Structure formats: structure tokens, C-alpha cells
């Protein structure tokens, strides 16, 4: 356990997105609240549906004050193929190497499957964890709940 807790600092990271660009969580500090969507595998049924749901509501998740980042342990090139095949136009971040390092920092790495669990965190503008939810891998997220919590992090 890392001691990650609500109200505590969010572990910082820099990961590559599906285009090979570095994305650093702390670059949003003081500017935007961020929702982190950890998901097990690109191209899997529930994950594909969830990412499409976020894509379809992207104007609600990504505003002048908010950002959405999806993180899996898939390699960057798989994430690019996933994004291209499903029209996903928000950052899909690769936690491939060191494998699952960021998922471990957020206490959501599944050692047995070598993948992130289906978990979400909201990081406020000051860089602190404001909310988290952990779903069974077979259960999709409640995006309405995520949007409510993301809006609450702005207050």
C-alpha cells in the first residue's frame, strides 16, 4: 500500500499517450481538475463501451476547468490502434513500462492479470485526491456519478 488517501496528494506521473506525447499529471495543477480512468485492457468489451461512453460525452468531461485521462497497462501502439478503431479522441495513457508503475502508485494494479483494475480517481486543481471509486472488472462505471464528482471538485 502506498498510503493513498482521499484528501492526500495524488501521485504524480508522466506517461505517453496514444500519439507518443508525454502527459504529466502535475502539469494540470492550478489549472484543471482531472478524472483518471484506470481500465484493464484496450479492445475488451466493457472497456470499449466505457471509452466510447466517455468519447460521446467528452464535452462534459473535458472543459476549461476539467480534463479526462484514461490509463491502462497496454503498450502505446495498442492504444493508438484502439483509439483509431473507436474514434477515441482523448488521452489514452500507457502504463506499460515499468509495467503498471502508475497503477501500483494508485493501489489499482492487479498482479494476477498484469493490468489495472477498473478504478477512477478525481484529482482537484491543487493536486489532491478528492474522490475514488473501484468497480469490478465486469461492471462498467456510472459516468453520471463521475461527472457529479468532477464538478464537486471544482468548488
DSSP output for 77-146: HHHHHHHHHHT--S-EEE-TTTTTHHHHHTT-EETTTTEE-EEEEEE-TTSBEEEEEEE-TTS---HHHH
Average model confidence (pLDDT) across the chain = 94
Residue 113 has pLDDT above 90, yes or no: yes
Total domains in the fold of the chain = 1
Look at residue 130 and tell me if it is in a domain. Answer: yes
| pLDDT at position 3 | 66
Look at residue 145 and tell me if it is in a domain. Answer: yes
Closest CA to 69 of 32, 113, 108, 110: 32
**CA angle at 48 for the pair 28 and 107, rounded to the nearest 5°:** 50
Look at residue 1 and tell me if it is in a domain. Answer: no
Look at residue 33 and tell me if it is in a domain. Answer: yes
CATH value at residue 120: 3.40.30.10
* Burial class, 7, CB count within 10 angstroms (exposed 0-12 / middle 13-18 / buried 19+): exposed
Look at residue 147 and tell me if it is in a domain. Answer: yes
Beta strands 22-24; 14-16: pairing state:
antiparallel
Domain range holding 45? 14-152
Residue 119 grid coordinates: 478504478
Catalytic residue among 15, 25, 35, 47: 47
Look at residue 5 and tell me if it is in a domain. Answer: no
Let me know: does 131 contact 52? Beta carbons within 8 Å. no
Look at residue 41 and tell me if it is in a domain. Answer: yes
Let me know: does 151 contact 26? Beta carbons within 8 Å. no
Look at residue 120 and tell me if it is in a domain. Answer: yes
Residue 147 has pLDDT above 70, yes or no: yes
Residue 48 has pLDDT above 90, yes or no: no
| pLDDT at position 2 | 52
User: 96-108 pLDDT, tens per residue?
Assistant: 999 999 999 999 9
pLDDT band (50, 70, 90) for residue 1:
very low
Chain mean position to CA 3 = 19
Q: Is the dihedral of CA 14, 73, 133, 139 positive or negative?
A: positive
Does the active-site annotation cover 73? no
Amino acid at each position: 500500500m502506498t498510503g493513498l488517501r482521499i484528501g492526500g496528494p495524488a501521485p504524480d506521473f508522466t506517461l505517453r499517450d496514444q500519439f507518443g506525447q508525454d502527459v504529466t499529471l502535475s502539469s494540470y495543477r492550478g489549472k484543471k481538475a482531472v478524472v483518471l480512468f484506470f481500465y484493464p485492457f484496450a479492445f475488451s468489451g466493457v472497456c470499449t463501451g466505457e471509452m466510447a461512453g466517455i468519447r460521446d460525452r467528452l464535452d462534459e468531461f473535458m472543459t476549461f476547468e476539467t480534463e479526462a485521462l484514461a490509463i491502462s497497462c497496454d503498450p502505446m501502439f495498442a492504444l493508438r490502434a484502439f483509439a483509431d478503431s473507436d474514434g477515441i479522441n482523448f488521452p489514452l495513457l500507457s502504463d506499460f513500462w515499468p509495467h503498471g508503475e502508475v497503477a501500483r502508485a494508485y493501489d489499482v494494479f492487479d498482479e494476477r492479470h498484469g493490468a489495472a483494475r477498473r478504478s477512477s480517481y478525481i484529482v482537484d486543481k491543487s493536486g489532491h485526491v478528492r474522490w475514488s471509486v473501484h468497480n469490478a472488472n465486469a461492471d462498467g462505471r456510472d459516468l453520471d456519478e463521475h461527472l457529479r464528482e468532477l464538478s464537486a471538485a471544482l468548488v
